[in-house]
Structure 1
Amino acid sequence: MFELFAVGLEMQKRMIDVQMQGVEAARDMIDAAQQNVQAGMAATQAQEAGIKSMKKWMNMWGVRG
Structure 2
Amino acid sequence: MKKGLVARGVDVFPYSKVAKKLASQVQPLLDVAIIQATENFNGKVDIWNEWAKANNEEILLKK
TM-score (norm 1): 0.50
> Identity over aligned residues, as a percent?
10
1:39 and 2:47 are equivalent in the alignment:
no
Q: Between the two structures, name the one with larger relative contact order (CA 8 Å, sep ≥ 6).
A: 2
Computed over aligned residues only, the root mean square deviation of the Cα atoms, in angstroms, reads: 1.9
TM-score (norm 2): 0.51
* Bigger mean CA offset, 53-62 vs 38-47: 53-62
Q: Which runs of 4+ in 1 moved over 4 A?
A: none
Unpaired runs of 5+ in structure 2? 1-19
Partner of 1:17: none
Question: Aligned residue pairs: how many?
Answer: 40
In 2, the alpha carbon distance for the partners of 1:41 and 1:54 equals: 20
Q: Determine which structure has the larger helix proportion and give its number.
A: 1
